[in-house]
């Protein structure tokens, strides 16, 4: 079965065509500057040169048509016919409190995605455009929505409810949802599978540390906690997001700087985090590490603060699960920055967690980086959200056929 995975942003559309017989990526690519002058499609097929198409894409519909044209192109394509694409899986940011798992798209699903525009204003409209563009260009091909919020829907009310008046929950569904859900689901399941964690010993903490960062705790794949909230702003210090701040900070900046709440939230999302703590040096952890080595105090503060919040969260999650069987690192920093992993895990030496320095230096594959006598097993597992989306798509399309 060939599954096309679509991740539509406001002015971009990423895709991967995956052959699910062996889970190999047949082709992938990116449409940029949709709705803006200078639109461009870059189509990549393993072992071939990139194929670049510079053509107007006034909307996602035209972008999708160009993607399909590239996929069947006699020279650069990978399938003979559009009908060789059996199903499409869409990454959708917010499913609100309606959807606890992935679902085959119909009119009701589209209605809920639309109702969640408020909760995911940057992503949900684009995600819906991606679905409608596939419906227009590939009539009859099933579309599956895979929600980033599904994982967090598994939490108990005492973990997901905000302690604010009930009417805001009942009227507006204001609660903690959590994000990076596709990654947390995939990596926690892979940890159990790869580590062969026996039943009853499947308490897993996943540290998804990238430009956006979140940590989850789960037992046998069911979420117990996750650090993001109603939006991805809650939780850890991130690349450009502040993470947790006292809401009074928002009021104070509004009052003293004459800014609107929207403006302050944009600052907290885009101009904060390690970028702000480093004195606007960079949100990229490689730049910060280089600057820290050269003695830059602000870069050191940014990295220390990032680590502090990661450590605090891991410690809290160990406490709420009455222990932990495995801790797994993933995403840009989690997969590539062995020094960061070492510094974080060394805080848990008192629990008997020990890393093997040689294994901790390996990159690009699933690996157990703890020593055999470590009390908790520690892994690096590269996240693969596209594959997770494709797997859900196959499962749901096959269930629908049965």
Task: Considering only the stretches 78-86, 207-215, 228-236, 392-400, report the one whose residues sit in contact with ligand AMP under the rule CB under 6 A.
Answer: 207-215
Instruction: State the minimum distance, in angstroms, from the CB of residue 359 to ligand AMP.
Output: 17
Do 371 and 354 touch, CB atoms closer than 8 A?
yes
Do 101 and 148 touch, CB atoms closer than 8 A?
no
Closest alpha carbon to 130 in 119, 112, 144 = 144
3-state SS assignment for residue 271? coil
Q: What six digits make up the tokens of 315?
A: 């410690």
Strands (E), 183-291: 203-209, 213-219, 222-226
Task: Considering only the stretches 99-107, 281-289, 344-352, 386-394, report the one whose residues sit in contact with ligand AMP under the rule CB under 6 A.
Answer: 281-289
Instruction: State the minimum distance, in angstroms, from the CB of residue 230 to ligand AMP.
Output: 21
Is residue 285 a contact point for ligand AMP (CB under 6 A)?
yes
Nearer to ligand AMP, 331 or 376 (CB): 331
Task: Please state, in angstroms and rounded to a whole number, the distance separating the CA atoms of residues 374 and 387.
Answer: 31
Binding mask 332-351 for ligand AMP (x = CB under 6 A): xx--xx--------------
Nearer to ligand AMP, 98 or 231 (CB): 231
Is residue 210 a contact point for ligand AMP (CB under 6 A)?
yes
Instruction: State the minimum distance, in angstroms, from the CB of residue 340 to ligand AMP.
Output: 7
Task: Please state, in angstroms and rounded to a whole number, the distance separating the CA atoms of residues 85 and 16.
Answer: 11
Is residue 306 a contact point for ligand AMP (CB under 6 A)?
no
Task: Please state, in angstroms and rounded to a whole number, the distance separating the CA atoms of residues 199 and 384.
Answer: 24
Is residue 331 a contact point for ligand AMP (CB under 6 A)?
yes
Nearer to ligand AMP, 285 or 379 (CB): 285
Neighbours of 236 (CB within 10 A): 25
Task: Considering only the stretches 143-151, 166-174, 261-269, 282-290, report the one whose residues sit in contact with ligand AMP under the rule CB under 6 A.
Answer: 282-290
64 to 93, contacts with ligand AMP by CB under 6 A? none
Task: Considering only the stretches 204-212, 298-306, 348-356, 393-401, report the one whose residues sit in contact with ligand AMP under the rule CB under 6 A.
Answer: 204-212
Size of the site for ligand AMP (CB under 6 A): 12
Nearer to ligand AMP, 48 or 286 (CB): 286
Per CB under 6 A, the list member of 100, 101, 141, 211 interacting with ligand AMP is 211
Sole residue written with tokens 């908790």? 376
Nearer to ligand AMP, 174 or 288 (CB): 288
Instruction: State the minimum distance, in angstroms, from the CB of residue 209 to ligand AMP.
Output: 8
Is residue 225 a contact point for ligand AMP (CB under 6 A)?
no
Instruction: State the minimum distance, in angstroms, from the CB of residue 39 to ligand AMP.
Output: 23
Nearer to ligand AMP, 178 or 239 (CB): 239
Per CB under 6 A, the list member of 95, 181, 195, 239 interacting with ligand AMP is 239
Query: 353 Cβ partners below 8 Å, 6+ apart?
Result: 327, 345, 370, 374, 375, 376, 378
Task: Considering only the stretches 30-38, 141-149, 290-298, 330-338, report the one whose residues sit in contact with ligand AMP under the rule CB under 6 A.
Answer: 330-338
Nearer to ligand AMP, 78 or 333 (CB): 333
Per CB under 6 A, the list member of 284, 290, 342, 356 interacting with ligand AMP is 284
Do 154 and 101 touch, CB atoms closer than 8 A?
no
Task: Please state, in angstroms and rounded to a whole number, the distance separating the CA atoms of residues 162 and 254.
Answer: 23
Which residue among the candidates 22, 107, 108, 148 is catalytic per the annotation?
148
DSSP assignment of 62-107 equals HHHHHHHHHHH-TTT-S-SSGGG--EEEEEES--TTT-SS-EE--H
105 to 144, contacts with ligand AMP by CB under 6 A? none
Task: Considering only the stretches 89-97, 205-213, 346-354, 365-373, report the one whose residues sit in contact with ligand AMP under the rule CB under 6 A.
Answer: 205-213
Q: What six digits make up the tokens of 54?
A: 């510079």
Give the CB-nearest residue to ligand AMP: 332
Residue 293 CA neighbour count, 13 Å, CB half = 6
Do 369 and 356 touch, CB atoms closer than 8 A?
yes
3-state SS assignment for residue 312? helix
- Is 106 assigned a catalytic role? no
- Long-range Cβ contact pairs of 11-20 (< 8 A, separation 24 or more): 11/35, 11/36, 13/60, 13/63, 13/64, 13/67, 13/130, 15/67, 16/386, 16/390, 17/71, 17/78, 17/79, 17/85, 18/386, 18/387, 18/390, 20/390, 20/391, 20/394
Which residues are part of the catalytic machinery?
A: 148
Provide the binding-site residues for ligand AMP, judged by CB under 6 A. Answer: 210-212, 239, 284-286, 331-333, 336-337
């Amino acid at each position: 079965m060939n599954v096309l995975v679509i991740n539509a942003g406001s002015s971009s559309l990423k895709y991967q065509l995956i052959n699910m017989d062996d889970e190999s990526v047949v082709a992938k690519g990116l449409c940029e500057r949709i709705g803006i002058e200078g639109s461009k499609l870059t189509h990549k097929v393993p072992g071939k040169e990139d194929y670049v198409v510079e053509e107007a894409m006034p909307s996602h519909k035209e972008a999708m048509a160009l993607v399909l044209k590239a996929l069947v192109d006699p020279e650069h394509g990978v399938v003979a016919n559009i009908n060789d694409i059996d199903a499409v899986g869409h990454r959708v940011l917010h499913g609100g409190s309606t959807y606890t798992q992935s679902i085959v798209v119909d009119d009701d699903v589209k209605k809920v995605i639309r109702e969640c525009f408020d909760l995911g204003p940057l992503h949900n409209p684009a995600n819906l455009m991606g679905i409608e563009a596939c419906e227009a260009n590939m009539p009859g091909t099933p579309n599956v929505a895979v929600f980033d919020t599904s994982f967090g829907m598994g939490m108990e009310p005492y973990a997901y409810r905000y302690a604010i008046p009930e009417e805001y929950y009942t009227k507006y569904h204001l609660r903690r949802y959590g994000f990076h859900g596709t990654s947390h689901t995939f990596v926690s399941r892979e940890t159990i599978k790869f580590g062969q964690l026996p039943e009853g010993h499947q308490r897993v903490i996943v540290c998804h540390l990238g430009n956006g960062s979140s940590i989850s705790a789960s037992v046998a794949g069911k979420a117990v906690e996750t650090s993001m909230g109603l939006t991805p702003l809650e939780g850890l210090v991130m690349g450009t997001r502040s993470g947790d701040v006292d809401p009074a900070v928002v009021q104070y900046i509004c009052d003293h700087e004459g800014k609107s709440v929207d403006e302050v939230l944009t600052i907290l999302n885009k101009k904060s985090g390690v970028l702000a703590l480093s004195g606007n040096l960079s949100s990229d952890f490689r730049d910060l590490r280089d600057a820290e080595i050269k003695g830059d105090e602000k870069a050191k503060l940014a990295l220390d603060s990032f680590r502090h919040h990661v450590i605090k969260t891991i410690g809290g999650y160990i406490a709420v699960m009455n222990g932990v069987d495995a801790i797994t690192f993933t995403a840009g920093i989690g997969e590539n920055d062995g020094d960061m992993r070492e510094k974080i895990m060394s805080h848990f030496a008192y629990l008997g967690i020990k890393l093997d320095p040689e294994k901790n230096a390996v990159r690009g594959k699933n690996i157990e980086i703890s020593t055999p006598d470590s009390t908790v097993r520690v892994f690096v597992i590269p996240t693969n959200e596209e594959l997770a989306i494709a797997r859900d798509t196959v499962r749901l399309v096959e269930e629908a056929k049965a």
